[in-house]
Structure 1
Amino acid sequence: MNQQKRFYRKIVYACIIVALLLPLSWLSQPQTTDSDGGQLAQMRERYQLGQAQLGEIDPASETIRLATLGMRNIAANLLWEKANEYRKTEDWVNLSATLEQIARLQPNFVSVWVFQGWNLSYNISVEFDDYHDRYYWVIKGIDFLKEGTTYNKDEPRLLGKIGFTIAQKIGRADEHVQFREMFVEDDDFHGSVPVSQRDNWLVGRQWMLKAEEAVARGVPLRGQSPLLFYSHPVMCLINYAEAIESEGTFGEVAKNAWRQAAENWAEFSNHDFPTKYNVFARLNEKEDYEEKSKQAQAKLEELAPGLREQIREERIAALSEEERDAYNTSPESRTSKQQQMMFPISLKIEVTHRDVADRVEGEDRAAALQAAEEATFADEMARAIDIDRGIVNYDYWKLRCEVEQQDDALAARKLVYDADQAFADAEITQAASLYEEGFDKWRNVLDAYPKLLDDAATSDELIESIDHYRRVLHQLDREFPKEFVLQNVLDADDLYRGTGQRQSTNNKTEAESADPTQSNPAGAAPEGAAAGGENPEA
C-alpha cells in the first residue's frame, strides 16, 4: 500500500513538472528574427536590460563568465585583491592585466570602470616622477573609461567621468601646463580632430554634453546631484576662458570665450532642478520668490496691521529676566554666555507668517491664511535656491562672466600678464610701467563691479602680481606708494587672512572640488564589486 502511494505521488510530481514546463517555456523563449520571444525576452527589450541593449557583446567576456561556473563573484573578489596588491608593489604591467580581467568579468558593472579609471588617472599617475609618464597613465585611465562605454553605452556616469577627467585632471594638475600642451599634440588620442578643437576643457565638455544627451533620452542619472551634473559643462567653458588668458590669449578670442560662458551660464540658470518640496526651481528664480514673499507679507500686514510686531513684543515680554537682559544688551557688550543664549532667544521670539494669520479673526481670516501660506512657500523656495546657488558659487560666476567681457577687464588682464612676463624676463622698468597701467585698469573694473571683492578669488589673482610689483619697485629703489591704487584689494586680502569673513579662496565650485571616489578610497573595491548582478544600479 505504501509503495502504491509513493508511486502515485511520483506520478503527481511528474505531471506538475510537465505542467510547469509549458508556462516556463512560454516565458523564456529567446528572441529571434521572426519572433519577439517570450515575456522575459520582451521585458529585457522593453527595459533595455539585454546585453545587446547595454552595449557591445564581448565573446571573451562571455566565455570567462561561463568558465567560472557560477563562481564569478569569487573570481572578481580575488582579482580585486590582486589589483590592490600590484598597486602597492608598483607592478604596473600586472595591474593593467588584472584590471582588464576584472572588466571582462563584470563589463556592465559601471563602478568597476569608474573606480579603476580614476585609480589609473589620479592615483597611479602620481607614482611617477617624469610628467611624460604621468600623462601616459592619465590617458590610460581615460582610455579605460572610454572602453567601458562600449559595454555600457549611454551611461551618464561613464560619459561624465570621461569629461571630468579630461577637463579637471589635465587642466588642474600640478603639471597642467605640460599636460595641456601634450594633450593638444596627442594625435593618437584625438585622431583627425583639428588642433584648434583639442583644448582639454572643450574636449571634456563634449563628453559631458554626451552624458546630458543620454539623460535627455531617458537614461536615469544615478549617484549624482542634477545640479552638479549640469554645472560641469558650463564650468568647462569658464575654465577654458581662464586658461587661454593665463596663457596669453586676449582680445576677441578671450572676449568670445567669456561671452559663450555667460550665455551657457544663463541657460544653466534656466534649468529646472528638483527641490525637497517636490517642485522644480531654477537658479535665477530666487529674486522672483523673494518678491512674491514681499507681496504676500504686505497683504498680510494690510489684513492685520501691526499684529506681527505685537506678537513679537508679547514674546519678548515672556522671556525670563536673564534672557531679556541678554536680548537688550548690545551685541558688542554681550558676555560669552549671553552670546550663546541669543540663538534660542531668537527662536523664541520669532514670529512666522502663520503665527500672524492664526490671530486674524472674522472674514479676513481665510485671506490671511492664504497670504501666510504663499509667503512661507516663497521664503522656503528662495532659501532652497540660495543653497543651490552657494553650491555652484552662482553669484560669483554670473558676475565674473559679465565682467570679463568688458574692455577694461580684458585690457587690465593683458597689461598685468605682460607685466608678469616682463618681470620674469628681468625687464624691470617695463614691468613697473605695465603694472601701473594694468592696476589703473583694474581700478576702473573694481569701481564698476565692487562685488568682485566679495570672493577672495579676485584678490588672490591680483596679490601675486602686486607682490611682483613690490619687488620691481625695490629693485628700482622706489617706495611702494602710500596711496596705492588697489589698496582695497590689499585690505580685502588682509580681511580674509585675518578673519576669514570672505568666501573661500578656492574659486572652484563644489562640483569641481568633489572627489568622485570619496566613497571608494584607493585600495578598496567598490561596494558590490562582486555582486551577482551585472548592473546593480538597474
Structure 2
Amino acid sequence: MSSDTSQHDRVRHPRRILLVEESILAVAIAAAGLMYLYAWLPKPVVPEAALQAVQRLKTSLDFRPGKEVAVSLMAASRPMMHAIRQAQRLEARGVFNESTRSAWKAASDKVLKFSMSPIAATDGQVVRLWMRESEDERAAALEAWMEELVPGRFAALEEQRLAKATADPSLAATLSEVTWYMVAEEAPDDVREQAFNLCQLHAEACKNAALIGQCRDIVGYDYWKAVCSVGSSEMGLESHAAIWRANYDDLQAHFDLAKEAYEEGFRAWRAVCDTSPSLQSDPMMVEDMKEHFERYREVLGRLDQPVTSPVMLQDLIGPGQPMTL
C-alpha cells in the first residue's frame, strides 16, 4: 500500500504549483500582451504651441549657473526689437485689430525674456535687467537696517555738512557727500563690524543697480517695455488707432475729422495713464504724446479755434500756449 501511495504522489505532485521557469514565462507572455495592446491604443496629441510654451517656461525659470552663456547687450536685445518692429509695421499700415494687439503681446513676451537673459556687462560682470528694482529694494532695506544700528546718525552728518556749507559757501563744492561708511565709522564698538559689512553690501547693491540702469538706458528698455504694454492693452491700441486716423485726416486736409480723432485718441490715452500711472512719469512716453499734441494744435489753428491742451491731458503736457499760424 505504501508503494502505491508513493507512485501516486510522483504522478500527482500535490505541493507542486508552478516551476520558476513557468512563472517567468507566464509573466513574459502577459507583459508582451500588454505592450502589444498599448501599441494599438490611441496616443494623446499635444499641440506644438503647448510644447513650445512649456519649453520657454522651463528655460526662463532655469537659473542654474553655467547653464546659459552671457551675451552682449545689443545681441540680446535683437529679438525684442525685431518683435517691436513687426508690431510697428502693422500700425504703420493702419492695421489696428487683434493681430496687431497679438503682435504687441508677443513683443512684451520678448521684453520679458530679454530682461531675464544673462548680459555680459562692460566690466565682465554678468547682469540681468529685471534685477534693477530688486537691487534698489535691497539697498533701501540695508539703509533701514543701518539706521536701526546707528539711529539718526546719517541725518546728523547731513545737518553738519549743510551747516558748514551755509557758514562758508566756498566749501560747498569741496565737502564730500555723506555716506554710510561715515556712519559706520562712528557706530558703537559692538555693532561697528556689522555696520561695515552692511555698508559693503549696500555699496554692492548700488553698484549693481547703477550698472543695470546703464544697460537699460542704452537699449531704451524701460521705454520699449512701456510701449509694448500700451500697445497690448485695449485702450492703448484704441489710442494708437485714433491718432493714426487723425494724422491721416490731417494730411488729407480733413481738419474737422482730424480734430475729432485726436481728441478720441487723447481720451483713450488718458484712460491708459489712469490704469498705469507709471506711464505718466516716463519722459519719452510724455514726449511722444506732446508731439501728437503739437499736430493737434496746428489742426485747431487751421480751424481758427482756441489752441489749448485737452483738459484730460493738462496734467501730463501742460496747459499749452497760444499759437499763431
TM normalised by structure 2 equals 0.66
Shift of 1:363: 3.0
Aligned to 2:117, the other structure's residue is in SS state coil
Aligned to 1:227, which of 51, 73, 95? 73
Aligned to 2:269, which of 442, 447, 465? 442
Residues 111-167 of structure 1: per-residue CA shift (max 9 Å, x gap): xxxxxxxxxxxxxxxxxxxxxxxxxxxxxxxxxxxxxxxxxxxxxxxxxxxxxxxxx
Q: Which amino acid aligns with 1:391?
A: I
Q: Which amino acid aligns with 2:185?
A: D
Aligned to 1:387, which of 214, 233, 239? 214
Q: Distance in 2 between matches of 1:385 and 1:442?
A: 30
Aligned to 1:469, which of 276, 283, 299? 299
Aligned to 1:454, which of 266, 274, 283? 283
Aligned to 2:132, which of 274, 286, 307? 286
Aligned to 2:97, which of 242, 248, 251? 251
Q: Which amino acid aligns with 1:374?
A: L
Which residue does 2:148 correspond to in 1? 302
Aligned to 1:240, which of 79, 86, 92? 86
**Cα 1:366–1:389 shift into 2, 3 Å:** same
Superposition map of 1:26-425 within 5 A: 226-275=72-121, 278-316=124-162, 319=164, 323-325=165-167, 342-345=172-175, 348=176, 350-425=177-252
Aligned to 1:298, the other structure's residue is in SS state helix
Gaps of 5+ in 1: 1-215, 328-337, 495-538
Residues 405-450 of structure 1: per-residue CA shift (max 9 Å, x gap): 1111111221222233333334444444333323322332234345
Compare 356-365 and 261-270 and name the one that shifted more: 356-365
C-alpha contact 2:116 2:130 (8 A) present in aligned 1: yes
Aligned-pair identity (%): 27
C-alpha contact 2:135 2:209 (8 A) present in aligned 1: yes
Q: Which amino acid aligns with 2:108?
A: A
C-alpha contact 2:230 2:237 (8 A) present in aligned 1: no
Residues 386-420 of structure 1: per-residue CA shift (max 9 Å, x gap): 12221122222111211111111111221222233
Q: Which amino acid aligns with 1:380?
A: K
Aligned to 2:174, the other structure's residue is in SS state helix
Q: Which amino acid aligns with 2:293?
A: I
Shift of 1:369: 1.7
Gaps of 5+ in 2: 1-66
Query: Whose radius of gyration is greater, 1 or 2?
Result: 2
**Cα 1:292–1:458 shift into 2, 3 Å:** same
Q: Distance in 1 between matches of 2:114 and 2:207?
A: 21
**Cα 1:492–1:287 shift into 2, 3 Å:** farther
Q: Which amino acid aligns with 1:454?
A: P
**Cα 1:369–1:236 shift into 2, 3 Å:** same
Residues 169-209 of structure 1: per-residue CA shift (max 9 Å, x gap): xxxxxxxxxxxxxxxxxxxxxxxxxxxxxxxxxxxxxxxxx
Aligned residues: 252
Shift of 1:365: 2.5
Compare 273-282 and 240-249 and name the one that shifted more: 273-282
Aligned to 1:283, the other structure's residue is in SS state coil
Shift of 1:265: 0.6
Q: Distance in 2 between matches of 1:490 and 1:441?
A: 15
**Cα 1:393–1:375 shift into 2, 3 Å:** same
Alignment RMSD: 3.2
Aligned to 1:344, the other structure's residue is in SS state coil
Aligned to 1:389, the other structure's residue is in SS state helix
Residues 90-114 of structure 1: per-residue CA shift (max 9 Å, x gap): xxxxxxxxxxxxxxxxxxxxxxxxx
**Cα 1:291–1:463 shift into 2, 3 Å:** same
TM normalised by structure 1 equals 0.42
C-alpha contact 1:227 1:273 (8 A) present in aligned 2: yes
